[in-house]
């Protein structure tokens, strides 16, 4: 790992039978960067994320995450990353506070740290008076913010967000992005996949995957300039269509 790259990927390849789900991916992600990982359904995003999180082994390539390799240091990787998916993974039948304590416990925070973190987090999310509400009884927007905060409760170096913001109103979505910006500002690297191309505009850099390959990687502004269009949506359509047709 160079001083500034927190994720380094050289020739990441994953083959299922004859099928190249990931075909020689090359990219790196800088510390504190908001990195967008985009692609159509079936492009190979989930395969790559699972490898980066230490949940699946690649068929080939040199890949390090937070300085650890994805072949035999997966436990160290898991301790240094956070993960949040669209389906969250909060427990519906536990309260807000119980969920925080549960995940803090899993990540091995000691009691004193956990108490402090729980109280800080409740305050920051404005949930102190709702700490005893069951998760199933709170609105989607709160759940998203809580799920994100829990995903970084152990101060990971990187947090992976898999389609995090579907289905909420535009103001709630922005509240969520405020949290993401704040985390990035504090040095946590954000690795995010999304279907909302307007959301890709929030990233520092984005990669676009088609058919298992990365076919573009740059800042949203540079991509828009390169393809002479006004929005990331148009960039994505241009690239994804040109490959499919």
Partner 1 sequence: MNNRSIEIVELNKRYGTIQAIKNINLTIQTGELFGLVGPDGAGKTTLIRILTTLLLADSGKASVNKLDVVKNYKQLREQIGYMPGRFSLYMDLSVEENLAFFATIFGTSIQENYDLIKPIYSQIEAFKTRKAGALSGGMKQKLALSCALIHRPKVLFLDEPTTGVDAVSRVEFWEMLKELKNTGITILVSTPYMDEAELCDRVALMQNGEILSIESPDELKNNFPHDLWYIKAENQYKLLQILRTWEKTYSAHGFGQSIHFVSQDSQMKEDEIRQFLESKTCKIQRIMRIGASIEDCFMELMNQPKKA
Contact footprint for partner 1 (CB under 8 A): 39-42, 139-140, 166-172, 174, 177-178, 181-182, 184-185, 195-202, 220-221, 232-233, 236-237, 240-241, 244
Specify whether the backbone of 148 is left (phi greater than 0), alpha (psi in -120 to 50) or beta.
Answer: alpha
**Which CB atom, from 120 or from 182, has the smaller least distance to partner 1?**
182
**Which CB atom, from 4 or from 75, has the smaller least distance to partner 1?**
4
- Minimum CB separation of residue 223 from partner 1 in Å reads 12
> Starting from the edge strand earliest in sequence, which strands make up the sheet with 205-210, in order?
81-85, 158-162, 189-193, 34-39, 205-210, 213-218
**Which CB atom, from 70 or from 235, has the smaller least distance to partner 1?**
235
Find out whether 68 and 121 touch, Cβ atoms under 8 Å: no
- Minimum CB separation of residue 141 from partner 1 in Å reads 8
End-to-end CA gap in the chain: 38
- Minimum CB separation of residue 197 from partner 1 in Å reads 5
- Minimum CB separation of residue 190 from partner 1 in Å reads 12
**Which CB atom, from 68 or from 202, has the smaller least distance to partner 1?**
202
Secondary structure (DSSP) of 83-123: EEETTB---TTSBHHHHHHHHHHHTT--HHHHHHHHHHHHH
């Amino acid at each position: 790992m160079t001083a500034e790259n927190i994720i380094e990927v050289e020739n990441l390849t994953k083959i299922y039978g004859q099928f190249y789900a990931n075909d020689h991916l090359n990219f790196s992600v800088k510390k504190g960067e908001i990195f967008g990982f985009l692609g159509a359904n079936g492009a190979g995003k989930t395969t790559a994320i699972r490898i980066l999180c230490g949940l699946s082994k690649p068929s080939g390539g040199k890949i390090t995450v937070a300085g650890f390799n994805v072949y035999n240091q997966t436990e160290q990787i898991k301790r240094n990353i956070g993960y949040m998916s669209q389906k969250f993974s909060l427990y519906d039948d536990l309260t807000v506070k119980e969920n925080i304590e549960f995940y803090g416990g899993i990540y091995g925070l000691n009691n004193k740290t956990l108490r402090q973190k729980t109280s800080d987090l409740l305050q920051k999310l404005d949930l102190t008076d709702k700490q005893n509400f069951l998760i199933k009884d709170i609105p989607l927007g709160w759940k998203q913010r809580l799920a994100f905060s829990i995903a970084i409760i152990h101060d990971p170096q990187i947090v992976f967000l898999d389609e995090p913001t579907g289905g909420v109103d535009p103001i709630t979505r922005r509240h969520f992005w405020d949290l993401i910006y704040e985390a990035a500002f504090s040095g946590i690297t954000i690795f995010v996949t999304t279907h909302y191309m307007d959301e890709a505009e929030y990233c520092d850099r984005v990669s676009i995957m088609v058919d298992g390959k990365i076919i573009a990687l740059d800042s949203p502004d540079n991509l828009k300039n390169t393809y002479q269009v006004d929005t990331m949506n148009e960039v994505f359509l241009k690239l994804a269509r040109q490959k499919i047709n």
